[in-house]
Each structure stands twice: as structure tokens, then as C-alpha cells.
């Protein structure tokens, strides 16, 4: 059986909500589909100045201080000495709500949430893929809505609830989230690099829409790339999780 015939037989199985696949129907459905907003706009950051807004002096000082810090070695180990050496650095200490916990962290004005999560808070489940809002490997939930952490400034999420893949399993029992179980059952993870982002996109979808159609699920997952090409596995995982949750 050729690969094309194999794909057709896979997709023509009846009773699982999937219709027979073809390039024609795929392109036709994509042409009609609304664009998925990958990143919801967030209010502009308020940098403290004498008038409560952004002052030119404060901005330049913060950029110079940031450059000095960035050029020294080691994110975590250097933070203590850099804070002591940089006037006003203590003002960068912010409290974030991450996976239900309050975390105090020293954040640079231009620092992205993915950097903070991975290198300041040790939450390395959030992956860096493209680092430019294209691949979805860094997807986290902000107030239950999927966002790309690589393209979100950390200082913008101070008043928001951040959820990463480390926080989706049951914290008390360690039981996996239904999405995680369904992805395993449907053999979604291949190399696994995109899996945390896929999990967060699916969890965000099911919070907003517990019973999505296949097309709604496909659209919601369209901001997450998988270099292993396991899109159908992840899609079936989302539908299975919706059915079993």
C-alpha cells in the first residue's frame, strides 16, 4: 500500500469524527477558517518614573543597567551581585503567580516570560523553538488563555495567572491531566520537543470549549508546529481528552 493510500485509509475510518482527507478539502477548509490569534494583546507596561509613567532618564538608565548585566556571565549566579551593583535594580523584583504559587524574581525590562520561566524559575518545560512567535513551543496559559511566552514581556504579566506545563498535572496526586494522558494514548509525542506547547494549547482550548469539533480543535492547535509531523496524533489526543474529561 502506498503512503498516500495508507493515509487515505487512516482518515477514512468511520465513527471517530474524522472525514476522508484530501488536499482539496484541506485547502478549502483552511481558506474559510478564521485566523487563530496566537497572542492576545496585553496592556502596555508601566515603567516607574517620577510622573508614574516612562521617563526618558529611567528608560536609558534601565537599558544601560540591563546591558551591563547581560554582558556578565551566568543568569542565576550573577543576579545577586548585579542587583547589589546596579542602582535601582531592586525595583525590578516582581512577584509573579506561576502555577498557583507566588514567585519573587528579578526581571529585566526587556526580558521575555520564556526566559524568566526557564532561566530564573527553573521551569524548563517551556521550550524555546523559534523565539519569534512562530512555532508555539513556548506556549503557556495567561489567565487560562494560550500565549507565546517567547513574545511576552515578563513585566506585563505581573497581574496575571501564569500556567506552565509543570502545573497541569494534579499537584497532590501527581496524576496526569486528561490531555497528557490522551496525548500518550494517541502517540502524540515523538521527539517530544513540541509536546509541552501542544499540551498547553490543548488545555487552554478545553478550558474555553470543553467539547470542540475536530475543526475547532485543529484551528486551536494550528499555532503549534511539530517537526515530527504528529499533528493528527495530537488532534486525536485533543478529541479523546474532550471525550474522556
Site residues, ligand FES (CB under 6 A): 128-131, 133-138, 148, 150, 189-195, 226-228, 230
Closest approach of ligand FES to the CB of residue 71, in Å: 24
- Residue 106's Cβ-side half-sphere holds a number of Cα atoms within 13 Å equal to 17
* CA–CA dist 64, 113 (Å, integer): 21
Residue 47 CB neighbour total at 10 angstroms:
15
Phi-psi region of 39 (alpha: psi -120 to 50; beta: other; left: phi over 0): beta
Residue whose CB is less far from ligand FES, 62 or 189: 189
Residue whose CB is less far from ligand FES, 138 or 182: 138
Closest approach of ligand FES to the CB of residue 134, in Å: 5
Closest approach of ligand FES to the CB of residue 200, in Å: 11
- Antiparallel, parallel or unpaired: β 93-98 and 161-163: parallel
Residue whose CB is less far from ligand FES, 217 or 226: 226
41 vs 12, 37, 143, 147, 187, CA distance in Å? 40, 9, 13, 10, 34
Closest approach of ligand FES to the CB of residue 236, in Å: 14
Residue whose CB is less far from ligand FES, 56 or 132: 132
Amino acid at each position: 500500500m502506498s503512503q498516500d493510500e495508507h493515509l487515505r485509509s487512516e482518515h477514512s475510518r468511520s465513527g471517530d469524527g474524522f472525514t476522508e482527507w484530501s488536499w482539496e478539502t484541506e485547502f478549502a477548509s483552511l481558506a474559510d477558517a478564521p485566523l487563530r490569534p496566537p497572542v492576545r494583546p496585553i496592556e502596555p507596561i508601566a515603567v516607574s518614573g517620577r510622573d508614574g509613567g516612562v521617563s526618558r532618564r529611567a528608560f536609558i538608565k534601565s537599558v544601560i543597567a540591563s546591558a551591563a548585566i547581560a554582558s556578565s556571565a551566568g543568569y542565576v549566579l550573577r543576579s545577586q551581585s548585579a542587583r547589589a551593583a546596579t542602582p535601582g535594580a531592586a525595583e525590578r523584583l516582581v512577584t509573579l503567580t506561576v502555577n498557583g504559587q507566588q514567585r519573587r524574581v528579578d526581571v529585566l525590562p526587556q526580558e521575555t516570560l520564556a526566559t524568566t520561566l526557564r532561566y530564573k524559575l527553573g521551569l524548563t518545560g517551556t521550550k524555546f523553538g523559534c523565539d519569534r512567535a512562530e512555532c508555539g513551543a513556548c506556549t503557556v496559559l495567561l489567565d487560562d488563555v494560550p500565549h507565546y511566552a517567547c513574545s511576552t514581556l515578563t513585566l506585563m504579566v505581573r497581574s496575571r495567572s501564569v500556567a506552565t506545563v509543570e502545573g497541569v498535572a494534579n499537584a497532590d496526586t501527581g496524576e496526569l491531566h486528561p490531555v497528557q494522558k490522551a496525548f500518550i494514548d494517541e502517540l502524540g509525542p515523538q521527539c517530544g520537543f513540541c509536546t509541552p506547547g501542544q499540551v498547553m494549547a490543548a488545555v487552554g482550548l478545553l478550558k474555553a470549549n470543553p467539547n470542540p469539533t475536530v475543526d475547532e480543535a485543529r484551528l486551536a492547535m494550528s499555532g503549534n508546529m511539530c517537526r515530527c509531523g504528529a499533528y493528527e496524533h495530537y488532534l486525536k489526543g485533543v478529541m479523546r481528552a474532550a471525550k474522556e474529561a
